[in-house]
Amino acid sequence: MDDSRRSFLKFAGISALGLGGVSILTGLKPGAVTAADTASEPLYKNTEKALTAERWGMVVDTRKLTRSLCDKMVAACHKTHNVPDLDNDRHTIKWLWTDGFEHIFPMKHDQYLAERLHGLPILSLCNQCNNPPCVQACPTQATFQREDGIVMMDFHRCIGCRFCMAACPYGSRSFNFRDPRPAIKEENPDFPTRMKGVVEKCNFCAERLAEGKMPACVEVSEGALVFGDLEDPNSEIRKVLRENYAIRRKQSLGTNPSVYYII
Amino acid sequence: MLEKALRGSKGYWVWLLALLAVIGVGFGVYLRQLNFGLGITGMSRDVSWGFYIAQFTFLVGVAASAVMLVIPYYLHDYKKFGKITVLGEFLAVSSVIMCLLFIIADLGQPMRLFNVLIHPTPYSMLFWDMIVLNGYLLLNIVIGWNVLDAERNDVPPPQWVKPLIYLSIPWAISIHTVTAFLYCGLPGRGFWLTAVLAPRFLASAFAAGPAFLILLAFIVRKFANYDVGREQIQTLAKIVTYGAIANIFFFLCEVFVAVYSQIPEHTAHLQYLFFGLEGHGVLVPWMWTSIFLMITAIILLVIPAARKNEAVLGVACVAIFVGIWIDKGLGMISGGFIPNPLHHVREYVPTVPEIMITIAIYATGFLILTILYKVVVGVKQETGE
């Protein structure tokens, strides 16, 4: 390696350290979250109590959804993850939100749709696809997939090209068009806040799983959400899927989502 | 040879200073964007790529069109293009530089740009776009400069340039192909999910680029007293004609597949662009203008008497250039995002700061183009060609 290349790499390394330092200053718990210099390193260090799975999945039981329950789940998610509450519709950040059946399942919309589904809020979140197009699109591996299937964002590596947003067929990604921090109502010190110019999305509460806790939305879901290991035949989620007919969003696109909906 | 750019008429310097002023203002606005974030643009969660990426896409085409001069001149030994090939290559240089500037302007975290090099990701099309764009820039600078320098010294270009020239031909095709691949490999974006996108990009490029070059040839003739030749301009005009017809043909292929199959995910975007969807149709008049301009230009170009009249040819070239600019610089990117994957219609209109930054990047391109063309014309006049 010649000198100029070495010094360039050194410079790059120092820059990376600098960015890590910034994140600690902004309220990141050192140790709980690593700066993850390479995508293969885990972003969250598992504690002894950690919940693990071969492939995490979620079932949304739409029969149990109500407006107030959905609001509660969205609030829990957004509070946990310091999602800002921005008034400009163009700048909105959403991790978990609701939409009508005809929007969540545009290809399954039907004139004679069951009465129950009219006006019913249906939860939308990152599908944590097993074959994620966003990971394929990302030019820096800032979006990457963990071995347990969770598609993660490395906020420190994202260059803000928004290619992943174009690639996602579910509109599940948000971009920080402005500094989100002033718009965070009540900051949760256990999760990092973001800076302007980076993409973010639902992470299946990877940081909570690492500490042995269920995802924030699941915790308050009153049984409307079932979370577990899709590869474990004895898991609760597999039992629910065995006993109920469930559909997935835009399955024909081959992204293989890990979020199922019981209609 | 650069010293040739340092001597010029009063008009030349006024033009350069005017461009610098525009760049200065745009750079100021860019600093504001850097400070506030991309929120100063009209882009949103639903239309996450806007004016910047659209201009980048359009200009990749202008850059790729240089191959329409390189092929006849170097591959078919069409010697008469000797007077204009370097102009085409330098147009490519300034276009690619604008492309790169538009990409940087579009990044949320531009200071992390080099992450693309630090963490190379071969399955991301953006990685390959970076490779082909920078490679093409380098190729055209090296080739254009060396060929011009050899001409000035009245010697043949160095032998090692020749393989680079041949390499530049598939490379030109690659820049627009890879740029099309940025869009047409994405699931759930029915408007772009078509194998004909790359060919259509190339066809439109081979119309818009040479059309612009014809206009530049007129400008150079008027202001720099350098004539690339009537026959050369007519040959370019035929290239524009074929390119424009191929572009319209590919477009009609798209329309047929979408409309005849009646698959909603494919028809919805065309419907939005040309007729409006759910009461939204900000691009409708633009898209019809684009179609009108391209069809009118084709009619003018296929009639030999009209094409041979340089005034009419000029009008046709402007119509082609503007028509394709609307198609790619406005409709192509927005149209792919609207309606969004959840089938909501959220429109996009660029903001004033966004347009100011865009104009400044165009001004930067024109500044580079002017300086390069000044050098070319200086050398050509010196050698008495």
Q: How far apart are CA B318 and CA B371, in angstroms?
A: 23
The shortest C-alpha distance from B310 to chain A (Å) reads 43
Q: What is the DSSP letter of A20?
A: H
Residue numbers in A near B46 (CB within 8 A): 171
**Kind and range of the H or E element at B256?**
helix B230-261
Name chain A contacts of B42, Cβ cutoff 8 Å.
Answer: 90
pLDDT tens-digit series, residues A9-26: 444 444 444 444 444 334
Residues 7-46, chain A: which have Cβ within 8 Å of B?
12, 39
Q: C-alpha angle with apex B187: A154 to A135, nearest 5 degrees?
A: 20
A100/B contact by beta carbon, under 8 A? no
What is the SS3 assignment for B200?
helix
CB atoms B119 and A179 under 8 Å: no
CA distances, B214 to each of B167, B210, B329 (Å)? 25, 6, 20
d(C-alpha B201, C-alpha B57), whole Å: 9
Cα dihedral angle (B201, B326, B340, A114), rounded to 10 degrees?
Answer: -100
Q: What is the pLDDT of residue B375?
A: 93
Secondary structure class of B166 (helix, strand, coil): helix
Closest among B269, B250, B296 to B186, alpha carbons compared: B269
Residue A3 has pLDDT above 60, yes or no: no
Percentage of chain A lying above the pLDDT 90 cut? 79
Q: Are A114 and A201 in contact (CB under 8 A)?
A: no
Give CA separation, B350 vs A196, B51, B53, B193, B207, in Å: 20, 6, 12, 25, 26
A90 contacts B44? CB cut-off 8 A: yes
Of A12, A102, A169, the CB nearest to B187: A169
pLDDT tens for each residue of A181-224: 999 999 999 999 999 999 999 999 999 999 999 999 999 999 99
**Residue reference for tokens 């069109």:** B65
For chain A, helix (H) and strand (E) counts, in that order, are: 8, 10
Span A243-250, average pLDDT = 97
Task: Specify whether the CB–CB gap between B189 and A166 falls below 8 A.
Answer: yes
In this complex, the residue of B109, B121, B264 whose CB is nearest that of residue A139 is B121
A63-121 pLDDT tens trace? 999 999 999 999 999 999 999 999 899 999 999 999 999 999 998 888 899 999 999 99
Of all residues in chain A, the one with the smallest CA distance to B117 is A140
Instruction: Report in angstroms the alpha-carbon separations of A135 from A138, A141, A254.
Output: 5, 7, 14
- pLDDT value at residue B163: 93
Give the pLDDT band (50/70/90) at residue A53: very high
pLDDT in tens, chain B (385 residues): 778 888 888 999 999 999 999 999 999 999 999 999 999 999 999 999 999 999 999 999 999 998 999 999 888 988 889 889 999 999 999 999 999 999 999 999 999 999 999 999 999 999 999 999 999 999 999 999 999 999 889 898 999 999 999 999 999 999 999 999 999 999 989 999 999 999 999 999 999 999 999 999 999 999 888 899 999 999 999 999 999 999 999 999 999 999 999 999 999 999 999 999 999 999 999 999 999 999 999 999 999 999 999 999 999 999 999 999 999 999 999 999 999 999 999 999 999 999 999 999 999 999 999 999 999 998 888 887 6
Query: Which long-range contacts does A101-110 make (Cβ < 8 Å, 24+ apart)?
Result: A102/B343, A103/B342, A103/B343, A103/B344, A104/A249, A104/A261, A104/B342, A105/A247, A105/A249, A105/A261, A106/B264, A106/B265, A106/B341, A106/B342, A106/B343, A107/A250, A107/A252, A107/B265, A108/A247
Residues B232, B302 contacting (CB under 8 angstroms): no
What pLDDT is attached to residue B3?
82
Chain A residues touching B182 at Cβ < 8 A: 163
pLDDT in tens, B170-227: 999 999 999 999 999 999 899 999 999 999 999 999 999 999 999 999 999 998 888 9
B57, B112, B126, B178: best mutation site toward chain A, by most A Cβ within 10 Å?
A: B112
DSSP string for B58-127: HHHHHHHTTHHHHIIIIIS--GGGGGTHHHHHHHHHHHHHHHHHHHHHH-SSGGGTTHHHHS--TTSHHH
Query: What's the pTM?
Result: 0.91
Spatial separation of the C-alpha atoms in residues A237 and A104, rounded to whole Å: 21
Q: What is the pLDDT of residue A151?
A: 97
Side-chain half-sphere exposure of B89, counting CA atoms within 13 A: 28
* Residue among B123, B127, B341 whose CB faces A169 most closely: B341
Q: Per this entry, what is the length of chain B?
A: 385
In degrees and rounded to multiples of 5, residue A226 shows phi and psi of -120, 130
Kindly report the CA angle at B71 between B67 and B72, in degrees rounded to 5? Answer: 125
Report yes or no: B114 and A11 within 8 Å, Cβ to Cβ. no
